Amino acid sequence: MTGPGGEISEAKGRKAAMRALMALAVFLGLAAFIFVLSPPARYDWAKAIHVVAVISWMAGMLYLPRLFVYHCDAEPGSVQADTFVVMERRLLKVIMLPAMIVSWAVGLWLAWTGAFFLEIWFIGKLVAVLIMSWAHGYLAKSARLFAEGRNDKPARHWRIVNEVPTIAMIAAVILVIVKPF
């Protein structure tokens, strides 16, 4: 974005990115702290961090396609469209990306510690999570197209895309909690 308003917005964006980095540092600090605990307590703390990260990631994954639905109605270049661009970029950079990184890092540590890599439920969960990560990449790419005023998909498309993380999330939770296989 250019102009005085754009510069203020860029400055705010940099601050938001700094906050995201700090949040990531806190998560990593917490992860380092739990290594001094006994192995069972360490595992439970890691699982708690994993679930908090997953909730944050999912909140963004479910909200971003809804923002795209509303964004479709805004005239490209209008104040409303620019506001959506800023909201989408911050959601991705400040919440979703750090939350996805922590979910993967801690989730893989849990799987390695619990020796789950050959369990059928875990492989199923990995497939659901890979679909979720692909959806994350697709949403990030789409946010860039919206920012450049190049989105050519109708609101209906984003309503349908909204279902992908929802279904993958339900599958991941059932597989890891019920462990049906």
Task: Show binding-site residues.
Answer: 50, 125
Rounded Cα distance between 98 and 165, Å, is 17
Does the protein bind ligand HEM through residue 172 (CB under 6 A)?
yes
Does the protein bind ligand HEM through residue 173 (CB under 6 A)?
yes
Rounded Cα distance between 105 and 86, Å, is 28
Does the protein bind ligand HEM through residue 17 (CB under 6 A)?
no
One symbol per residue from 103 to 132: x for binding ligand HEM (CB under 6 A), - otherwise; what is it? xx--xx-xx--x-x------------x--x
Letter string b/e over residues 146-178, b meaning 16 or more CB atoms within 10 A of that residue's CB: bbeeebeeeeebbeebbebbeebbebbeebbee
Rounded Cα distance between 141 and 88, Å, is 11
Does the protein bind ligand HEM through residue 47 (CB under 6 A)?
yes
Does the protein bind ligand HEM through residue 177 (CB under 6 A)?
yes
Q: How far is the CB of 161 from ligand HEM (least distance, A)?
A: 17
Does the protein bind ligand HEM through residue 136 (CB under 6 A)?
no
- Name 139's Cβ contacts closer than 8 Å, sequence gap at least 6: 61, 64, 65, 68, 92, 161
**For the packed helices 120-147 and 163-177, what is the interaxial angle rounded to 10 degrees?**
160
Rounded Cα distance between 74 and 69, Å, is 10
One symbol per residue from 65 to 94: x for binding ligand HEM (CB under 6 A), - otherwise; what is it? ------------------------------
Question: Judged by CB, which is closer to ligand HEM: 72, or 111?
Answer: 111
By beta carbon distance, the residue nearest ligand HEM is 107
Residues that bind ligand HEM (CB under 6 A): 47, 50-51, 54, 58, 103-104, 107-108, 110-111, 114, 116, 129, 132, 169, 172-173, 176-177
